[in-house]
Amino acid sequence: MLKLKKTSAPSWNGNGFGTNPADWVVADYEHIAVTKCAGLWFAVDLNQTKKVGHLNVPVRIASADTRADLLNILTIKLAA
């Protein structure tokens, strides 16, 4: 089973602006970042980017409803 490593703590944006979530990477695969957005968990490969307009955006490699499901999906993908 893969483990996550926190790279930054959640931060408070000020009154009325909410918080930024913590940043995570997969231990032993630091190029894979994991984040939660709009209730879903996403994993992106920071080494691979695609052009979207004038921006280079990391490639999403997996998504899931829960962090545990995302780690299970990543375990299968990285074992192959």
pLDDT, one tens digit per residue, over 33-50 is 999 888 899 999 999 999
How far, in Å, CA of 17 to CA of 29, rounded? 32
Whose CA is closest to 60, among 1, 73, 22, 68?
73
- The position carrying tokens 């490969």 is 45
pLDDT exceeds cutoff 90 at 14: no
Sequential DSSP letters for 18-54: -EEPPEEEETTEEEEEEEEETTEEEEEEEEEEEEETT
pLDDT (tens digit, 9 = 90+) per residue, 46-66?
999 999 999 999 999 999 999
Residue with more model confidence, 57 or 80: 57
Q: Check: pTM over 0.75? Answer yes or no.
A: yes
Q: What is the pLDDT of residues 15-29, one digit of tens each?
A: 888 888 888 999 999
